């Protein structure tokens, strides 16, 4: 294994351990020692790859956001139909909450930091901007093809994201009270009632 491959593997190992720590303990309630223990490395190794805890946290945010963005990009490659693309985007977003719950919990923990840490606020805003752009492009394709009503695609993307985030948060707080699959269908119905001619 080359030095570059070993370094990439080590960084990934440390980031994965940090994701585990945030999911277990929360953004502010874990130590670098916790990360070292879970990653099975020394604290010195962590500091070799990451300047400090904030540097490590930004790498975690980049990883989580990048993974989500990759999932969403995969949807747009499967079909050119804007209705189906949007339906798949909605389903992928809801599936992330169920199947990668720790990612959504990490995002919530980062949200709590946006008033204290400008760097985090900018990174979260960048992530949402990419998500909005992906969704807005699909909406605009539907408008251009005459499938969707003439509507401001950026406005529509913000509404769609708000629906997904709002329901996802409620489900995370009280999942036994929510028939999640029914809520996904209802969300799709609301979005398409809003968009379809």
Take residue 20 and report the two structure tokens written for it.
Answer: 């585990």
Its pTM stands at: 0.85
Which element (helix H / strand E) includes 27?
Answer: none
pLDDT given at position 22 = 86
Tokens 């960048």 belong to 126
Domain with CATH 1.10.357.10 in the chain: 53-195
pLDDT at 15: 95
Confidence at residue 87, expressed as pLDDT on a 0 to 100 scale: 95
Asked if the 1-50 domain carries CATH number 1.10.10.60, the reply is yes
The parts of the chain modelled with pLDDT lower than 50 are none
Second CATH level (architecture) for the domain 53-195: Orthogonal Bundle (1.10)
Q: CATH 1.10.10.60 residue ranges in the chain?
A: 1-50
**pLDDT recorded at residue 25:** 86
Query: What integer pLDDT is reported at residue 135 of this predicted model?
Result: 95
Cβ within 8 Å of residue 120, ≥6 positions away: 57, 58, 61, 110, 113, 114
Q: What is the pLDDT of residue 2?
A: 86
Q: What is the pLDDT of residue 3?
A: 84
């Amino acid at each position: 294994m080359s030095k570059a491959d070993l370094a990439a593997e080590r960084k990934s190992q440390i980031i994965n351990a940090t994701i585990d720590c945030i999911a277990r303990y929360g953004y502010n309630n874990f130590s670098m020692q916790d990360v070292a223990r879970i990653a099975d490395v020394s604290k010195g190794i962590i500091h070799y790859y990451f300047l400090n805890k904030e540097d490590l946290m930004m790498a975690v945010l980049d990883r989580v956001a990048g993974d989500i963005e990759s999932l969403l990009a995969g949807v747009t490659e499967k079909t050119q139909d804007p209705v189906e693309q949007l339906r798949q985007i909605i389903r992928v977003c809801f599936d992330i909450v169920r199947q990668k719950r720790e990612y959504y919990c990490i995002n919530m923990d980062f949200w709590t930091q946006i008033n204290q840490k400008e760097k985090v606020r900018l990174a979260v805003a960048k992530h949402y901007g990419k998500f909005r752009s992906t969704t807005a492009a699909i909406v605009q394709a539907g408008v251009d093809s005459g499938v969707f009503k003439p509507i401001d695609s950026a406005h529509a993307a913000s509404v769609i994201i708000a629906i997904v985030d709002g329901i996802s948060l409620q489900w995370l707080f009280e999942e036994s009270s929510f028939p999640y699959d029914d809520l996904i269908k209802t969300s799709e119905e609301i979005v398409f009632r809003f968009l379809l001619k």
